[in-house]
Chains A and B, each alone.
Chain A
């Protein structure tokens, strides 16, 4: 059986987790078995049954009140116990810093092989092999995964889910939860509300130092709004506090792989590219025709962002 660690945000299965479920169901098909989603936290059964639409035959739901808030140690304990009780041999998760924390501890408990940044379905012709992205997107490795239990963290956009119209049976589970799993006390949570999550986003509009200052961001926000895109920024921009730290992409920030990344006034330093080079389509707007980012781009406009952005926003709104 293939088990998919499924993340829930605001009562709904995260989009990246639906991709992981679809990926898991494809692996199940290849291995002649079935895919089960493990969902932890509060969500109603109708929402969880949607996992079926993406290929899971069953959903195991752990909804103990203690699990209402994400807690990597408690979730990992539930995951490890579920792997043991179901005899699952392969665990799939959509890569995120929370999923990594959960699968890591589960791997420690299960002595499982764990591979991150998987970019394709496995090759089962000779053992169990996956392709992973390495050296911040500059290369790939074909990795043979041995271990009795294998845990795969998949990158966004590695499969394009086809919905099948099915719904999955939802079964509630109540794994034992030791007090020690709740030893850390969360004293404050600061979270932007109503924003499109950057790691989850299909479309991203990002700004660099060429956006001039914290008060001149509106044209970029307007385009993001019109597109329904998440916003991101370069490292100096978050270092200078023009934008919040969680929007910083690159080698030392979030790594994104959206369908579309629009870079506005970003020079395209290699450390920035490290976070965005697996985007499907890269658009660069920069007033300097020699900006290195153009070499990595699919579409480019040489011009002033403050002139170009409003034109783009207008064109998007006109097409709606």
Chain B
């Protein structure tokens, strides 16, 4: 089985976000980049499938050279080789187009992604890729097993979940508890250095561009209500906050 795992490189959730150049660029100073948390689940499940029944895992990132530490980490966790499409990923459709082009070349049985990134988190790249390849896509998938050519999955739906089966090839957007996040071990880190990482150029152009960034207005102070008068909260929510 050939698995393609698509990883985004995103600021760690705990990073402080600020902008430079007249609010037109993210201030990368002090921002730690990580593999998208959902993409990490996709990768972990791919590695488990490989351990269970054998598979080759290619990890794919659409991004600049500054994403390479995240790609190397994915190789250390258990991917066999990597591809980086060398372009700033600035638009969901554009990113999907790059992924679809790589996928067409490689004839993968499974294309695993995260449910969404944690930067623009539109949750659409898997669906666009599935449509471009003419194969089914499902998201968010919280359980996945593969038996021969058949995948059985559990997908989260509003207020519950649904079990389904479909034939490979498939594109899936993954979320917990599909697998446990994996931490690279020393041997993985050593071998990752020599695993192949191919850098290829992008094709096409973005359909959207970001003109300017802004930060939310700072929150006012929290109004504290003494515990002895807790019931007053309900009155305040009615008359002051007007949400009840």
Contacts and interface: CB of A to CB of B under 8 A. Distances in A.
Interface of A: 9, 70, 72-73, 76, 96-98, 100-109, 111-117, 129, 132, 134-147, 153, 183-192, 195, 197-200, 202-203, 227, 239, 244-246, 251-252, 259-260, 270-271, 274, 280-281, 283-284, 294-304, 307-308, 311-312, 314-316, 319
Contacts of B130: 73, 104-105, 108
Given A251-B118, A315-B234, A115 B208 contact: yes
Interface in B136-161: 136-140, 142, 152, 156-161
B131 A299 contact: no
Contacts of B14: 270
Nearest to A273: B13
Given A101-B127, A283-B237, A252 B211 contact: no
B122 interface: yes
A281 B159 contact: no
Contacts of A70: 157
A296 B216 CA distance: 12
B118 A107 contact: no
Contact of B163 (A101, A105, A135, A187): A187
Contacts of A107: 92-93, 124, 127-128, 131
B125 interface: yes
A183 B166 contact: yes
B210 interface: yes
A195 B158 CA distance: 11
B1 interface: no
Contacts of B200: none
- Majority secondary structure, A binding face: mixed
Contacts of B118: 135-136, 251, 274
Contact of A252 (B126, B159, B176, B235): B176
Contact of B122 (A114, A140, A146): A114
Contacts, number: 278
Contacts of B159: 191-192, 195, 197-198, 246
Contact of B175 (A252, A283, A314): A252
A142 B166 contact: no
Contact of B227 (A143, A199, A227, A307): A307
A244 B236 CA distance: 31
Given A135-B17, A297-B222, A187 B164 contact: yes
B238 interface: yes
B241 A299 contact: yes
A70 B238 CA distance: 38
Nearest to B114: A252
Contacts of A314: 231
A270 B91 CA distance: 26
B223 A251 contact: no
Contacts of B17: 135, 138-139
A111 B92 CA distance: 11
Interface residues of B, number: 80
Contacts of B238: 319
Given A76-B127, A138-B17, 15 more contacts: A108-B130, A114-B92, A117-B121, A139-B215, A143-B210, A144-B209, A189-B157, A198-B159, A203-B243, A251-B13, A301-B227, A302-B224, A303-B230, A307-B230, A312-B230
B233 interface: yes
15 contacts: A97-B156, A108-B131, A147-B208, A183-B166, A184-B166, A189-B157, A189-B163, A197-B158, A245-B176, A246-B158, A246-B159, A298-B241, A299-B241, A301-B225, A301-B233
A244 B156 CA distance: 11
Nearest to A131: B214
B184 interface: no
B207 interface: yes
Contacts of A199: 158
A319 B234 contact: yes
B126 A299 contact: no
Given A108-B130, A108-B131, A117-B122, A141 B210 contact: yes
A298 B220 contact: yes
Contact of A97 (B120, B139, B208, B212): B139
Contacts of B84: none
Which of B120, B176, B206, B237 is packed against the most chain A CB atoms within 10 Å? B237
B123 interface: yes
Contacts of A301: 224-227, 230, 233
Contact of A188 (B163, B175, B241): B163
